[in-house]
Amino acid sequence: MRFEILPLEFDAFDTALAQQRVDFIILNPAFYIEMEHRHGVSRIATLQNRDFQNRSHTRFGSAIFVREKSPINTLADLRHQRVSAVHPHSLGGWLMGLKRLKESGINESDLILSFEGTHDQVVWRVLSGQADAGGVRSDTLERMAASGVIELSQLRVLEPLAIEGFAFRSSTPLLPEWPFAQAKHTPATLAEKVAIALIRIDSHHPANRAAQIGGWTIPLDYQPVHDLMRTLKRGPYSHLAEPTLLELLRRHWVATTLALIALAALGYAAVERTRQNRLLTRRVEERTRELHHSQAEIASIAESMGEGLLAFEPDGTLLLANPAAMAILGLSRQAIAAHLNHAGFPFDQIRTHLNNGIQGRYSGQWRAHDETAHQLRLILTPLNGPWGRCGVVAVFEDITEEHEAKDRLTQLNRTLEAKVSEKIEEIRTKERLLSEQARLVAMAEMMSAIAHHWRQPINNVAVLAQDLSEAEAYGELDRAYLQQGVKKIMQELHALSATIDRFGRFFLPDTHAAPFRAKAAIEETCALVGTQFDQLEIALTCHIPDTLSHMEIMGYAGEFQQALLNLLLNAKDAILARREQLQGRHPGEITLTLSRERQMLLIRICDNGTGIDPEVRDRLFDPYFTTKRRTEGAGVGLYMVKMLVEKSMHGQIAPMTEKAGQGACLGIWLPLFNDRGDRGS
């Protein structure tokens, strides 16, 4: 299945979802709440951010900051100051900070506000003095400092919160990280597969490292984001910013009352008593009809609601109970009125709010008379009139299926985690077997190299021994001649001993990773195969500039040398195969070049062998894949080289561009440990 990434601006999401141009979206939690309300998207995973100690965080905050030498010391000092933010829809770059500012008594109208489009641009505006303060998501300052583009000492976060286990500076409480959501039209089976695939991605996967994240986890509860949007009256709750008739009466009831009194006085003075009584009678009748009509409309709306609706007067008298409320509770209107004095959810909460006059949100379990349990979500809203409280309204919904679905999802995640752990252990076992198999193959190759190394010294010892024998037969053997012959024999034997020591060190297992000099390891590996390559008429050339002789890399020196040996022997086999194709002499050439690319060390190994067939290029490093005859190779060598380079040494290996018919080149990129003998850049 093929996936295409489509970058979108905030304003383009509505059109893309309406036209079904996208199946999945990744967006900030505040904007997700809007898309959930308008287009029915639903989250299937939550982002795990990664800090510089490789710890994962599923929540983030907002940092409100100023220049270090700024006279601004508190959030309250920002009144009438120039403040830069990212975007009106940005959660970490504006909305979270706005809520914290409101809690400090600062409204949006109290600021000289500008939106810059990106978090980095907000930081530059503050540093350049074009803004007095800025708001960005909580990891922005630390990541820019890690990249070397700013110094943290230049900036100061206002009123930072001490949040245990959180590595970044934040002026606000934390909210859930970005969700990965499916569009309403996306098939559920596809969404499930994508969710499982996301959660299975290892935190060290190249994609996660490139994105500087720790991966994805099961979707979090985004109710805190709903609460923030409701408090700010944004997104789905923007209608709350429009004043209701009740609010208008509460704001202007004094003026309304005075106006009515003035009108009544003028009417009393202008119209005779009889006519006034008739007029008042007609008005009362009209108002009564309007009231009855309004009550009928309210009753109609309440009856059509899917949620339960109860309304109580301050003394506990039941004013309204819609059919959904009676169905969910399994009680009649009379039974609901009687239950107000009974203990238990939700009537305990309703009684409390009859007296305190504040809004509340709750969830709990209601057990009906038939002993069936229902999980309810309850919202209590007081009715406050200009002359005091008028009662409380309770709206509730049955979320039993949602609650059970969450339980099933939790169990599914546990099962999935167990299967993933089992699969990981199985993969590790296979990798250990592959490593051992590759080691045995390398030992076989080394035994061949040892034979080539020993052949010439042993032949020399035989010639010297025969020379001593002939000298004795012809009477030419004296003490000096004997000592000279013995000395030469001992030199050859010492050479054999040195060969044994060198090959013995080569296969000693490394117990732990340590820094080592790349040049020394490369030169020693080349020396091991030099004699064998010379006898095969293959020229091995190493180009290592003196400026790189002291460069160190971190890893396992012995395994690194085995990897190089494997690549050199593969190059040798490719040259011999090329000779066989040409049915004659083919001068073999292998070149190993060491160079530096920024903070990486590049080892380039090139040969003039058969080259890499484009059809097998993508499978080159697969386990048990080989282009040799089955008797000549098991197909594990290049796979183990890739595992060592990428997993153990955090590097990369890949074929490099080569010309057709001129052999192949492989490149190994490894991160430098230092370049001066200490842990430098």
Structure tokens at 267: 């009417």
Residue 271, pLDDT score: 64
Bridge-based pairing state of the strands 82-85 and 112-115: parallel
d(CA 670, CA 513): 14
Q: Give whole-number Cα distances, 202 to 24, 167, 213, 243, 421, in Å.
A: 21, 21, 11, 51, 12
Residue 270, pLDDT score: 62
Structure tokens at 123: 């930081």
Q: What is the mean pLDDT of residues 271-282?
A: 68
Q: Which of 161, 119, 172, 113 is nearest to 142 (CA)?
A: 119
Q: Check whether 217 has a pLDDT greater than 50.
A: yes
d(CA 328, CA 376): 9
The pLDDT confidence band at residue 433, using thresholds 50, 70 and 90, is low
- Of the chain, the percentage scoring pLDDT greater than 70 comes to 78
| Residue 659: how many other CB atoms lie within 10 Å | 8
Residue type, 632: E
Q: What is the mean pLDDT of residues 441-462?
A: 60
Which of 92-96, 237-241, 468-472, 504-508 is the most confident on average? 92-96
Q: Check whether 676 has a pLDDT greater than 50.
A: no
Chain centroid, CA 548 distance in Å: 36
Q: Check whether 679 has a pLDDT greater than 50.
A: no
Residue 680, pLDDT score: 35
Using one digit for the tens of pLDDT, what is the confidence trace for 73-98?
999 999 999 999 999 989 999 999 99
Using one digit for the tens of pLDDT, what is the confidence trace for 648-671?
889 999 998 666 567 899 999 999
Residue 678, pLDDT score: 40
Q: Check whether 481 has a pLDDT greater than 50.
A: yes
Using one digit for the tens of pLDDT, what is the confidence trace for 100-119?
999 999 999 999 999 999 99
Q: Check whether 324 has a pLDDT greater than 80.
A: yes
Across the strands, what pairs with 176?
59
Q: What is the mean pLDDT of residues 9-33?
A: 91
Q: Check whether 459 has a pLDDT greater than 70.
A: no
d(CA 549, CA 675): 10
Across 2-16, 197-211, 293-307, 596-610, least confident range: 293-307
Q: What is the mean pLDDT of residues 591-604?
A: 93
The pLDDT confidence band at residue 440, using thresholds 50, 70 and 90, is low
631 or 565, which is more confident: 565
Q: What is the mean pLDDT of residues 332-359?
A: 81
- CB under 8 Å to 23, separation ≥6 — which residues? 182, 183, 185, 186, 190
250 or 63, which is more confident: 63
Using one digit for the tens of pLDDT, what is the confidence trace for 518-573?
999 999 888 888 888 888 889 999 999 999 888 999 988 888 888 898 899 889 98
| Residue 125: how many other CB atoms lie within 10 Å | 19
The chain-wide mean pLDDT, for the chain, equals 82
Residue 670, pLDDT score: 94
Residue 237, pLDDT score: 87
- Please report the sign of the dihedral spanned by the C-alpha atoms of residue 521, residue 522, residue 523, residue 524: positive
d(CA 417, CA 423): 10
The pLDDT confidence band at residue 388, using thresholds 50, 70 and 90, is low
- CB under 8 Å to 596, separation ≥6 — which residues? 548, 551, 602, 672
Using one digit for the tens of pLDDT, what is the confidence trace for 411-427?
888 888 888 888 888 87
| Residue 21: how many other CB atoms lie within 10 Å | 12
Q: Check whether 218 has a pLDDT greater than 70.
A: yes
Give the containing element (helix H, strand E) for 318: strand 318-321
Q: Long-range contacts made by residues 115-123, C-beta under 8 angstroms, separation at least 24?
A: 115/84, 115/85, 115/86, 115/87, 115/88, 116/84, 116/85, 116/86, 117/86, 117/87, 118/86, 119/86, 119/92, 119/93, 120/144, 120/149, 121/84, 122/84, 122/85, 122/86, 122/93, 123/150, 123/155
The pLDDT confidence band at residue 331, using thresholds 50, 70 and 90, is confident
Residue 216, pLDDT score: 92
Q: What is the pTM (predicted TM-score) of this model?
A: 0.40
- CB under 8 Å to 372, separation ≥6 — which residues? none
* Angle (deg, nearest 10), helices 518-535 and 557-582: 30
Give the containing element (helix H, strand E) for 355: helix 347-356
The pLDDT confidence band at residue 450, using thresholds 50, 70 and 90, is low
Residue 116, pLDDT score: 94
Using one digit for the tens of pLDDT, what is the confidence trace for 165-205?
898 999 999 999 999 999 999 999 999 999 988 888 887 88
